[in-house]
């Protein structure tokens, strides 16, 4: 299945790079399959590397994949809750300075000869509606990519634009066929480095890892336009930045990821990577974080996650409600989706939407489910 998909992705990439892309020709697969593949020639993720800002807000083209990932829990002027997601993915089609092998160099004569493919997703979720959109393009200054100062992360007219080289303050503008939005984003909190100073293991042995940092404490205000109505919104957002040349091991099929803001002012990042071989245990990682930049890593033996409700969608059956227990943090919570049908019916289907928290703590957050 995975080799077949990779051939499909290669074909899709060739179509995109030739400028002859027809949306109806896209093939559907899982996130895990997109992140699988040969890592020869790409930069490895190793411990002990110091993340540097603002430089690491930029693209890391030596690595195979990366993303800029924003989720927001928003409230309208009338008090209605909704969720918003914006993600820009970068996917390298070949290792740096190569075509298929390290031994065969490429001479790039113009900026259209790119090895980088960009995919962007966005969605708005209410209790009764979930709207999603997607764009693909090759990396080019006029299409997609990043710019240093001011910091710009863009795909066509979907654009994150900061005031200078730093991430914040920034404006995010997105236009789709069904909805548009313009948000102002700001944060004064230090960035949170996930894992070991930004080195985030994805399996017990550490043979699979990423560089990963977050900003869980972002204030948001702006407008959403939908069906001719301009809706003012405000709330809180969470940005994840992650890059690697291999996000999953060969036996891991997907993940369950949570970004939770608790009523005591802290934030909790939590994920499990599910193994489908029957030979390895699922892998867990979590961190409790605070606005002053402090945080506590949580050992995997302290994490218990149990799905309590499932939802059948057009692209799969997803666990949309959970019980999460972390005794060392006195956390015993339940999460429920604002909208159980927050399925992303895109080229790479997954579930992503806002959630509500109850139990030892209350709060709001976001959940992403892949590989189902």
For residue 68, pLDDT beyond 90: yes
Mean pLDDT is lowest, of 3-7, 227-231, 245-249, 268-272, for 3-7
95: tokens are 């290792």
Q: Do 244 and 211 contact (CB within 8 A), yes or no?
A: yes
Mean pLDDT is lowest, of 31-35, 215-219, 366-370, for 31-35
92: tokens are 């390298």
49 vs 15, which has greater pLDDT? 49
With CA atoms as reference, report the closest residue to 304 among 272, 326, 336.
326
Residues 6 or more apart from 297 whose CB is under 8 A from it?
Answer: 195, 286, 287
Give the per-residue pLDDT at 180: 98
- For 105-138, the pLDDT digits (tens) are 444 555 556 789 999 999 999 999 999 999 999 8
365: tokens are 């957050």
Structural domains in the chain, sorted by start? 2-369 (2.40.370.10)
Q: What is the mean pLDDT of residues 222-246?
A: 97
Q: How confident is the model at residue 246 (pLDDT cuts 50, 70, 90)?
A: confident
Residues 6 or more apart from 123 whose CB is under 8 A from it?
Answer: 83, 84, 85, 130, 131, 132, 133, 342, 344, 352, 353
Q: Do 143 and 158 contact (CB within 8 A), yes or no?
A: no
Q: Do 353 and 130 contact (CB within 8 A), yes or no?
A: yes
- At residue 306, what are phi and psi to the nearest 5 degrees? -135, 125
Omega cis (within 30) before 169: yes
Q: Do 246 and 208 contact (CB within 8 A), yes or no?
A: yes
79: tokens are 């008090």
C-alpha span between 255 and 138 (Å, rounded):
27
Give the per-residue pLDDT at 74: 99
Share of the chain above pLDDT 90, in %: 74
Q: Do 208 and 249 contact (CB within 8 A), yes or no?
A: yes
46 vs 15, which has greater pLDDT? 46
Q: Do 134 and 116 contact (CB within 8 A), yes or no?
A: no
Please state whether 316 falls in left (phi above 0), alpha (psi between -120 and 50) or beta. Answer: left
Residues 6 or more apart from 148 whose CB is under 8 A from it?
Answer: 54, 58, 165
Give the per-residue pLDDT at 167: 98
Q: What is the mean pLDDT of residues 197-211?
A: 90
For residue 193, pLDDT beyond 70: yes
What is the pTM for the complete model shown? 0.88
Mean pLDDT is lowest, of 61-70, 113-122, 265-274, 363-372, for 113-122
Q: How confident is the model at residue 251 (pLDDT cuts 50, 70, 90)?
A: confident
For residue 294, pLDDT beyond 70: yes
CB-CB neighbours of 101 under 10 Å: 11
Q: Do 79 and 98 contact (CB within 8 A), yes or no?
A: no
147-153: long-range contacts, CB 8 A cutoff, minimum separation 24: 148/54, 148/58, 151/54, 151/57, 151/58, 153/68, 153/88
The residue assigned the tokens 């100062």 is 149
C-alpha span between 121 and 86 (Å, rounded):
6
C-alpha span between 103 and 183 (Å, rounded):
46
Mean pLDDT is lowest, of 8-12, 63-67, 242-246, for 8-12
Give the per-residue pLDDT at 33: 59
């Amino acid at each position: 299945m995975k080799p077949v998909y990779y051939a499909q992705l290669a074909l899709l990439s060739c179509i995109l790079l030739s400028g002859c892309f027809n949306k109806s020709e896209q093939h559907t697969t899982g996130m895990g399959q997109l992140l699988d593949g040969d890592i020869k020639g790409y930069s490895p993720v190793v411990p002990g590397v110091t993340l540097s800002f603002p430089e690491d807000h930029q693209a890391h083209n030596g690595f195979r994949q990366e993303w800029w990932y924003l989720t927001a829990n928003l409230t309208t002027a009338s008090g209605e809750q909704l969720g918003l997601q914006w993600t820009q993915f970068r996917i390298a089609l070949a290792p740096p300075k190569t075509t298929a092998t390290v031994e065969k160099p490429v001479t790039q004569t113009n900026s259209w000869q790119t090895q980088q493919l960009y995919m962007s997703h966005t969605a708005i979720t209410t209790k009764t509606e979930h709207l999603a959109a997607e764009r693909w393009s090759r990396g080019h200054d006029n299409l997609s990519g990043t710019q240093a100062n001011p910091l710009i992360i863009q795909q066509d007219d979907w654009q994150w634009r900061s005031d200078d080289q730093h991430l914040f303050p920034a404006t995010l503008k997105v236009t789709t066929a069904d909805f548009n939005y313009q948000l102002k984003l700001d944060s004064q909190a230090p960035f949170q480095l996930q894992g070991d100073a930004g080195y985030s293991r994805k399996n017990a042995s550490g043979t699979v890892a990423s560089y990963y940092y977050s900003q869980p404490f972002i204030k948001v205000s702006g407008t959403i336009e939908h069906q001719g109505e301009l809706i003012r919104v405000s709330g809180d957002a969470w940005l994840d930045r992650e890059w690697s040349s291999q996000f999953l091991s060969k036996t891991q099929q997907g993940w369950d990821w949570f970004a939770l803001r608790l009523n005591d002012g802290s934030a909790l990042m939590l994920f499990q990577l599910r193994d489908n071989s029957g030979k390895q245990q699922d892998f867990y990682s979590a961190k409790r974080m605070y606005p002053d930049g402090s945080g506590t890593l949580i050992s995997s033996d302290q994490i218990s996650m149990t799905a309590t409700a499932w939802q059948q969608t057009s692209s799969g059956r997803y666990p949309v409600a959970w019980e999460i227990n972390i005794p060392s943090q006195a956390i015993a919570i339940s999460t429920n989706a604002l909208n159980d049908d927050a399925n992303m019916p895109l080229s790479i289907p997954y579930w992503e939407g806002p959630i509500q928290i109850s139990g030892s703590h209350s709060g709001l957050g976001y959940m992403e489910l892949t590989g189902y």
